[in-house]
Structure 1
Amino acid sequence: MNFDYTPKVQALREKLLAFFDEHIYPNEPVFLAEVARNRANGNAWVPTEIVERLKETARAAGLWNLFLPDSERGAGLTNLEYAPLCEIMGRVPWAPEIFNCNAPDTGNMETIERYGTESQKRQWLDPLLDGQIRSAFLMTEPDVASSDATNIQTRIERDGDHYVINGHKWWSSGAGDPRCAVYIVMGKTDPDAPRHRQQSMILVPADATGITVHRPLTVFGYDDAPHGHMDITLDNVRVPATNLLLGEGRGFEIAQGRLGPGRIHHCMRLIGLAERALELMTKRALQRVAFGKPIASQTVTQERIAEARCLIEQARLLTLKTAYMMDTVGNKGARGEIAMIKVVAPNMACQVIDWAMQVHGAAGMSDDFPLAYAYTSARTLRFADGPDEVHRNAIAKLELARYMDADAASRVEMPVTRT
């Protein structure tokens, strides 16, 4: 495995780093002030002018749609090539949208690209790639343990040339954005089919009759406006049968394909977030004096800085290996690595950010620094796209299967999960 940057990736890295220095970091307080102003004016869900303005700058710089491997619509980068670029974008939680590389849109775009018809791509994928609209992914439900996705209760029932959808979803990330035009909804088309053939996925216009967005859900008090994680009900929502993705009973197949890239993108961004936290921690430690000497000279601080560097490097190497595996043996062949990095990266980021907050003292918990919000983002990702416990179970099953006979190993069940 060779993780050296290709000349193309090195050039894009340099452009991205320069873009952050010139446009992102100086505008962090501008973004926060604009969101606060919108909230004070009674509507926190207005897209920010600073992000919309920087999108045009990013387009002009050739920093747009850098994901989407194996597609003529993307930048032509592999998962391995995208990893160091996604890491940079993850250094500021709201920055990926500027490059049209934000969740859940990247995962939704890959889903439509991989499993959609040409008509579906023209209607939804092309506007998403152009940044004209946003999207949401509706899988998680409040009334069941969605860590086991076979529990979902939303029904998708055929009625002539339409499907009728009834259900209750929450943690529908991106659905708070007023530009959100399409949902990818997972539900049951045949409750009597084998357990992993009951579910399907369907494209649902966000303005369809019968959809009610009840409230934004908060994460440690943050509502992530104008992005948002919404509580949604679908009451006799009718959509054309042609909106179904791939076919009835193939929802789990789609989920396997969608959640692999989604999970590793989260991990790439988390490494960037942890790098930013370590940078802030070291600068603060050098500047602050306690008990007669800089905090940086305290042994406990030095140990934490060293351990943070070790943890980040370990997580980065596992992420790169996972990306390489996805490129060479596919998402299914890399499922063990995907599960491992999904456990490792959020826990690593939580720990590094926590240490950075300690070095900042009480200021680390305030919004004067980006660490408190960064911690909530990292902690959320120990649930999103599957909780740690489910991924650990999957890793253990794969390990046990190595020592089973071939017939028993073939029956080992790998869960598909998203909170």
Structure 2
Amino acid sequence: MQLTEEQRAMRDVVREFAVEELRPADREADETESFPEDVWDDLSDLDLTGLAVPEEFGGVDADRVTYAVCNEAVAYGSLSIATALSVHGLACSCIDAFASDDQRERWLPEMATGRPVGAFALSEPGAGSNPAQMSTVARRNGDTYVLDGEKQWITNATRAGVAIVFAKAIPEGAPEGAGPDDVDGETVTQFLVPTDADGFDVGKPESKLGLRGSDTAPITLDGVEIPAENRLTEEGRGLAAAFEILTGGRVAIAAQAVGLADAALDDATAYAQEREQFDGAIADIQTIRHKLAEMRTQLEAARLLTREAARKLEAGTEDAAMAASMAKYFASEAAMTVTNEAVQIHGGYGYVQEFDVERYYRDAKVTEIYEGTTQIQKEIVARHVLDEQ
């Protein structure tokens, strides 16, 4: 789809920044398994940390297509940084969509500047693809809630100042000792939790296959007490709220997969034109040429699906959720295909860390997993096809 002049200008600015600043930072972050905080401040200077924040609170209030275009451009330089940015955006979106006016005024202006960083705590050790099975609970105690439980795979966990936490609400007056097995998934509720609250503890960051510049760590909530006003949804509406926000998040992940694949294709193309074998550039070999053609086709198809999903989400069409899932699963698989072929075109050099395609290949895998696996996305699409939603 055709971008507006403003969207193209913003894409070009962010992509230039991605090449000059994010890509070098990503190489170092991958080696050290640490997030480049100075780059986060640069993202703020470009207003990218406020993409999901309304203008009245100092944000950009970007439409869905612009949001996707910016995520794609950031991921062209670093999927790790793009992931941190999109999760921050999820937290901002939750507060904007569900918090009270007082809470929005308290949190969003600062979050638009990137500080505090936001986290989104839905997954648990025993509840990933089926969050209704979560064990984290929130017990009502007069004007407060007390949260207990564990969360897993939380992006920005070590950096966040605020977390959107999902828990099963145990109503006031429930029998003493009532726990998660005594209530069902329809009690899941969404809460705003400052990370400096007593009992909020972040565990050791995971050492991952890829996405090593983005911190991923478990969270433990041990008697974390928050004001009742920090409940963002009515008791029992948490999962519906999560799925609503994650629909937009899946479009962002699809866009990031496109950006990563684009970087891999550009690197592979440049290498094929420079590398000589059999008395000529390997770009003259039909097998290599066909690989590049297939990679470009996969990339463009993924980009079109992603931007169409963003357009439908912005327009609020009935099939927006299906479009988001289609984009997410197709783009993530395209990223895996394109990065794999980029490594193959580089031959032995593609297997060493000196060349970026090695990192792209490791990073690409997570796009098929986080914010809903490929299999979950296909199930969502199937439900729409069969009119079962």
TM-score, structure 2 length as denominator?
0.88
Equivalent-residue separation in structure 1 for 2:108 and 2:264 (angstroms)? 34
Corresponding residue for 1:306? 293
> What residue is the counterpart of 2:364 in the other structure?
378
Name the structure where helix makes up a greater proportion of residues: 2
Query: Contact 1:182–1:206 (CA<8 Å) still a contact in 2?
Result: yes
Q: How does 1:22-41 map to 2 (within 5 A)?
A: 23-24=20-21, 28-29=23-24, 32-33=27-28, 39=32
Aligned-residue offset at 1:74: 3.6
* Counterpart residue number, 1:408: none
Structure 2 residue identity aligned to 1:131: G
Q: CA deviation at 1:367?
A: 2.7
The equivalent position to 2:103 in structure 1, one of 101, 115, 120, is 120
The corresponding residue for 1:398 is 384
Deviation per CA, 1:126-179: give whole Å up to 9, x if none.
21111221121111111x2421111111111111111111111110111122xx
Residue in 2 aligned with 1:417?
none
Aligned length: 380
Q: How far apart are the structure 1 equivalents of 2:34 and 2:291?
A: 38
Shift of 1:295: 1.8
TM-score computed with the length of structure 1 as normaliser: 0.82
Q: What is the match of residue 405 of structure 1?
A: none
- Quickly say closer, same or farther: Cα 1:69–1:351, change in 2 above 3 A: farther
Partner residue in 1 for 2:75: 90
More moved, 167-176 vs 361-370: 361-370
Q: What one-letter code is carried by the residue in structure 1 that aligns with 2:78?
A: P
C-alpha separation in 1, matches of 2:44 and 2:380: 42
Does residue 1:347 correspond to 2:338, yes or no? no
Residue in structure 1 matching 2:7, options 9, 18, 32: 9
Residues 1-400 of structure 1 mapped to structure 2, 5 A cutoff: 3-20=1-18, 23-24=20-21, 28-29=23-24, 32-33=27-28, 39=32, 45=34, 47-49=36-38, 51-52=39-40, 54-55=42-43, 58=46, 65-68=50-53, 73-93=58-78, 102-142=85-125, 144-177=126-159, 180-190=160-170, 197-220=186-209, 222=210, 224-225=212-213, 227-329=214-316, 333-400=319-386
Matched-pair identity in %: 27
Aligned to 1:385, the other structure's residue is in SS state coil
SS in 1 for 2:316: helix
Query: Kindly tell me: are residues 148 and 71 of structure 1, through their superposed partners in 2, closer, same or farther at Cα, counting changes over 3 Å?
Result: farther
TM-superposed CA distance for 1:359, in Å, is 1.4
Q: CA deviation at 1:95?
A: 8.0
Residue ranges of structure 2 left out of the alignment (5+ in a row): 171-179
Q: Deviations over 1:261-317 (max 9, x none)?
A: 111011112111111110000111111123443221222211110011111111111
RMSD: 2.7
* CA pair 7-243 structure 1, distance change in 2 beyond 3 A: same
Alpha-carbon distance in structure 2 between the residues aligned to 1:396 and 1:334: 14
Structure 1, residues 218-275: CA drift from partner, whole Å, max 9, x if none?
A: 221x5734x4110222111111111111221110121122101111011112111111
